[in-house]
């Protein structure tokens, strides 16, 4: 008699972004098997939690063995409790316990940028490395760190590294932070200065790609700010490699990364000034979803 094939468990990952909620069924290798997309919930805490539940229920079946959430939030270390979230009305919410009780499955939760970092480390541009830094350049600048073969699970606000203490005011109230100097929003500001009030970072990248010197210079300037921050962080913990992703990071590519490499190597101490690699992320917009899936597998395996 042939024993029936045992189906490998899969998990549900949820990547809760500023504009959309992306949920998916993910296997252990980080492949996304099924996907469910909805506009990002707004309004009340109750409405957000109901939308998250609906996304899980849309994908839930007998093979699903765990659930993982990537949330743009500051989480309490140890408990995973949401202390406060960016762009979502979630303050002091124990989503982990709530989801465990509701679905009767192991549940994991991680900051969304850290989840994306986990994905790039396990399945993307950081495979096989023990120390890495990931920076996501989107509307703001987020990131994550892998240190000594483990995702660093504490405070990682790399977007708020000071690059120019007399610079533009940051979203956090500080000045000249990486977030206002190297994000898509910085691209928007540069585009408006060059091409008028309707211009944005997308146009800036388009113009630079077609050879416009002013646009290329503006993006190189953004790249130098990025490189200064990277050089400082490299001198703190010597990540190898530095991975740059996010919507703006992916669109601008070498238009900012070439200048970032030059500046970072100039600032980095030996031997990182020679060995430092700054590379594009590989998983694109799926990184957050894949990472949330990997967080779910960690919960299933009892790693956390
Ligand atoms: Zn800041």
Q: What is the mean pLDDT of the chain?
A: 92
Least confident of 84-88, 110-114, 258-262, 291-295: 84-88
Distance from the alpha carbon of residue 13 to the mean position of ligand 1, in angstroms: 29
- Three-state secondary structure along 37-102? EEECCCCCHHHHHHHHHHHHHHHCCCCEEEEEEEECEEECCCCCCEEEECCCCCEEECHHHHHHHH
Q: How far is the CA of 59 from the centre of ligand 1 (A)?
A: 37
What is the 177 CA–ligand 1 centroid distance (Å)? 5
Ligand 1 midpoint to CA 138 (Å): 14
Structure tokens at 177: 């932070």
Is residue 131 scored above 90 in pLDDT? yes
The rounded Å distance from CA 32 to ligand 1 centre is 34
CA of 175 to the centre of ligand 1 (A): 7
Q: What is the pLDDT of residues 205-240, one digit of tens each?
A: 999 999 999 999 999 999 999 999 999 999 999 998
Tell me the CA–centroid distance for residue 176 and ligand 1, in Å: 8
Nearest by Cα to 260 from 288, 247, 241, 286: 241
Query: Which of helix, strand or coil describes residue 177?
Result: strand
Distance 193 CA to ligand 1 centre (A): 22
Is the pLDDT confidence value at 79 over 60? yes
- CA–centroid distance, 230 to ligand 1, in Å, is 16
Give the C-alpha separation, 230 to 255, whole Å. Answer: 16
288: CA distance to ligand 1 center in Å?
Answer: 22
Average confidence (pLDDT) over 283-287: 89
Residue for token digits 């190189």?
220
Expressed in angstroms and rounded, the spacing between residue 140 Cα and the centre of ligand 1 is 9
Mapped onto helix, strand or coil, the DSSP state of residue 258 is helix
Q: Quick check: 74 pLDDT over 80?
A: yes
Question: 179 C-alpha vs ligand 1 centroid, how far in Å?
Answer: 6
Averaged pLDDT, 67-85: 90
């Amino acid at each position: 008699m042939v024993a029936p094939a045992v189906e490998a468990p899969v998990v549900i990952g949820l990547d809760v972004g500023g504009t959309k909620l992306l949920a998916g069924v993910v296997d252990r290798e980080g492949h996304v098997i099924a996907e469910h997309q909805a506009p990002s919930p707004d309004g009340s805490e109750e409405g957000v939690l109901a939308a998250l539940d609906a996304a899980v229920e849309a994908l839930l079946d007998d093979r699903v063995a765990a659930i993982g959430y990537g949330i743009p939030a500051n989480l309490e270390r140890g408990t995973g409790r949401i202390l406060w979230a960016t762009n979502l009305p979630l303050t002091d919410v124990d989503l982990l316990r709530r989801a465990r009780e509701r679905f009767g499955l192991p549940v994991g939760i991680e900051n969304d940028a850290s989840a994306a970092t986990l994905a790039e480390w396990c399945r993307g541009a950081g495979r096989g490395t023990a120390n890495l830094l990931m920076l996501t350049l989107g509307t703001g600048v987020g990131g994550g760190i892998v240190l000594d073969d483990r995702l660093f699970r504490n405070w990682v606000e790399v977007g708020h590294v000071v690059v120019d203490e007399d610079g533009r005011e940051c979203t956090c109230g500080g000045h000249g932070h990486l977030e206002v100097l190297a994000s898509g929003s910085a691209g928007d500001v540069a585009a408006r200065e060059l091409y008028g009030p309707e211009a944005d970072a997308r146009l800036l990248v388009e113009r630079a790609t077609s050879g416009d010197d002013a646009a290329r210079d503006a993006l190189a300037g953004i790249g130098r700010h990025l490189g200064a921050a990277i050089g400082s962080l490299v001198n703190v913990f010597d990540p190898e490699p530095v991975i740059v992703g996010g919507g703006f990071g992916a669109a601008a590519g070498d238009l900012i990364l070439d200048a970032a490499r030059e500046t970072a190597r100039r600032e980095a101490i030996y031997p990182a000034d020679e060995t430092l690699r700054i590379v594009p992320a590989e998983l694109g917009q799926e990184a957050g979803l894949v990472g949330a899936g990997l967080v779910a597998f960690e919960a299933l395996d009892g790693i956390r």
